[in-house]
Amino acid sequence: MTEAIKPFKVNIPDEEVKRLHRKLKDTRLPPKEIVPNAGDRYGPSYTWAKNLYEAWLNDFDWYEHQAQMNTAPHFIYTHGEGINIHFLHAKSSREDAIPLLMVHGWPGSFYEFNRVWGSLSNPQNDSASAFNVVVPSLPGYAFSDWPLRADWTLQDSAKVFDDLMKLLGYEKYMFQGGDWAHWVGRELGSKYTDSCQLIHFNFAPSRLPDLSRRGRREVTSREAEVRQRVDDWLENHMGYAIEMRTRPHTIGFAVNDNPMGILMWIGEKYIEAAGPESQKQRYWTQHILATASLYYFTDCIMPSMLCYYDNVRHEDFADFAMEPHNRITVPFGYTSFFWDTEPSSKRAVELTGNLVFYKERDEGGHYAAAEDPDGIIEDVRQLAALHWPSPR
């Protein structure tokens, strides 16, 4: 271990945990829904919000999740620019393990991968690929420092993560991620190709074909459904992004010390962008509450918004991915989860780079590693088995 990397353990002080509970007990919810029979037309339903609040107050144990976070060793990496980056490192016992960098987005965290880092690093089946899993917190999230300056981009984060992997001794590695992590991976797969050798995405914005110009037989039912979902997302669900890419201080101050405010601000995306089967599980409620608690304990709700302020806008995602200098030249794979915010199709994604693996999954959504850990593990392993470069 170098001096630039120091051990770390997730250990929220007991007083902070008690303070969160006191603030929850002292919370006064709106007395009723905004108009009769509002349902979810005005945002998450009143019933959903109330049930989530009551679960946080009466059916949530932070220490249970903190213990799960600490099932892998954590570290703080001090980069040459002076920024401290938190990461966990689930090393395999296998000598043939493939280095794997896994990166989260918003409103996620490193905890999004808690259901996969153990199985990926130490599979029960000896014939399955094993990985040395590195999961950093993006700058401004959880235990990582806030960005050092204005205009810190995901491309800046990509460089920091590439430096981290090399410092860990991983001269060549694989990448996996979705949401904002897509842009980290796209940067690595187009500019850092000596080190980043293989990529898997569960979110890959791309220019969907103009279905109106195609004959009915040329359009698959999946493409038609995907087009409808993407259009609905961009038309009806972007208020949060507009606020964060224009006035992050405003909403940041409003919710930073307001647990219920944090829960609603991020929880909205966990109900709108996750598959319906995920939302039936107690685990999903617990995962939302653990993530909201992590944001609250680490004061990261405001700096986490900088991804929206300092990076490409949603309506420009596809054009950005199509620019020649952003084309992924290393082999990459993409799993299209139907309930994602902007699911895509094979013939759209393959226009953005060297696509060698494509799969469709109908159950999960935007938070693939948390919603469908078995699916992500299977697809990462299959992609690696087919396309990870053999030792020379």
Distance separating the N- and C-terminal Cα atoms of the chain = 27
Q: Output the six-digit token pair for 171.
A: 């001269």
Q: Output the six-digit token pair for 151.
A: 């205009």
**Among the options 53, 295, 308, 334, which is catalytic?**
308
Q: Is 196 left (phi over 0), alpha (psi -120 to 50) or beta?
A: beta
Q: How many CA atoms lie within 13 A of 207 on its CB side?
A: 11
User: Length of the chain, please?
Assistant: 392
**Distance (Å, whole) CA 115 – CA 374:** 9
The 3-state secondary structure of 226-292, one letter per residue: HHHHHHHHHHHCCHHHHHHCCCHHHHHHHHCCCHHHHHHHHHHHHHHCCCCCHHHCHHHHHHHHHHH
Find the helix or strand (DSSP H, E) in which 165 lies.
helix 154-167
**Active-site residue flag, 308:** yes
Pair 211, 235: CB distance under 8 Å: no
Give the sign of the dihedral formed by CA 36, CA 41, CA 43, CA 44: positive
Give Cα 361 to chain centroid, integer Å. Answer: 17
**Among the options 145, 156, 179, 372, which is catalytic?**
179
Selection from 30, 27, 349 nearest residue 205 by Cα = 349
> What residues form DSSP beta bridges with 86?
76
**Active-site residue flag, 65:** no
**Among the options 74, 104, 366, 387, which is catalytic?**
366
> Beta strand pairing status for 5-8 and 74-78?
antiparallel
User: Which residues neighbour 191 within 8 Å (Cβ) at sequence distance 6 or greater?
Assistant: 158
Query: What residue has token string 């944090």?
Result: 262
303: cis peptide before it, omega within 30°?
A: no
Running DSSP on this structure, what letter comes out for residue 389? P
Give the number of other Cβ atoms within 10 Å of residue 322's Cβ: 15
**Active-site residue flag, 151:** no
Q: Hey, which residues are catalytic here?
A: 179, 308, 366
